[in-house]
Amino acid sequence: MTETITAASAGTWRLGDLTVNRLGFGAMRLTHLADGSPSDRERVTGVLRRAVELGVNHIDTAAFYFSPLRSANELINRALAPYADDLVITTKVGPGRDAAGHWWWAEPGQLRGQVEENLRQLGRDHLDVVNLRVPRRETSGSVAEHFGALAELRTAGLIRHLGISNARPDHLAEARAIAPVVCVQNPYGIGSPAEDHAFLDACGQQDIAFVPFYAIAGAGKESGAAAEDSPDVRALAEAHGVSTAQLRLAWTLSRGPHVLAIPGTGNPDHLVENVAAGSLRLTPEEVALLDSL
C-alpha cells in the first residue's frame, strides 16, 4: 500500500509566531470552475476537509472570492469550523466586489469594514494574517495610509499579523517602517522576470515569507494552467514521473525555505497531487535549468 504524502513533506516556515507547512491551499477555485460554472458545494467542502487531513494548515482566502452561489470564506467556515488550533487562515483586503460582482477599491477608512466582513464570514474573532492587496504593482504609489489603517486594527486585536500582496520592494520597505510584515504574496512562477527572482531572494534575507500565486497557472492566471508548457518543463516532469503542475510547485518551493505554496483546486485528485509535490526534490542542475526559462 502506497503511503500517503502529507503537506509536512514540504517543511515548515513561520508567519510571525505561527508555524505552517510550506505547502498550503488557495481558496480562489472553491467557488467556481475555470469556465465560470458553479462548483459543487459538497465536493469542495470535501476538498477542504481532505486538505486538512493531508496536513495543510495554511489556507489563503478573501471575502471577494465569491460567485452568485458560493463564498469561499463561508465554505471554509462550513467545512472546517470549529478550526484546529494549528490552522492559519490568511486573507486579503483592499479590493471589494458588490453583489453584482463589480470591483471597487477600499479607502483606508473602509478597510475595517472589509476585515469585519472576513471575520463574520469565517466565524472568527480575529484574523491570523491579513494582506494588503496593492491595486497595480507597476503604477501604485504609497501604501502607507492603507497599511497604517491595518496596523491600527492589528493593535486593536482584530488582526494578528500583516502582509502585502501584488507589491514592489519599495512598498515592502514602506510597510515595514509602519509595522512588522510577515509575508509578501505576489504573482510568481517559472518564467518570471529577473526582478521578481531578486525580490523573492530579498524577502528571504529579511526573514519574510514569499507566497507566490499563479505558480501553476502562469500566464493563464484565473483561467487555469497555461495550455503550453515548454519542452524543458514537460521533459523534466516526465523524467520525474510527475505532472507539469507538480514540477512547477516543486520548483517554486526549491527557491528558498521561506517560499510557501498555495495551489488552489476544487478537484480532490488534484489536491492529492499538489500536496505530493511538496516531497519532490529537484537537483541543483534541474533548478538552474528551470530558473533560466
pLDDT at 228: 65
d(CA 185, CA 188): 9
Residue type, 72: A
Place of cell 491570523: 128
Q: Is the pLDDT of residue 293 over 80?
A: yes
53-73 in b/e form (b: 16+ CB < 10 A) is ebbbbbbbbbbbbbbeebbbb
52 neighbors 23 (Cβ within 8 angstroms): no
Grid cell, residue 219, equals 500566464
d(CA 75, CA 91): 14
Grid cell, residue 141, equals 504609489
Mean pLDDT of the chain: 94
User: pLDDT tens digit string along 94-111?
Assistant: 999 998 889 999 999 999
CATH topology of domain 7-291: TIM Barrel (3.20.20)
User: pLDDT tens digit string along 204-250?
Assistant: 999 999 999 988 865 555 545 555 688 999 999 999 999 999 999 99
Question: pTM score > 0.75 for this model?
Answer: yes
List active site positions. 65
pLDDT at 229: 83
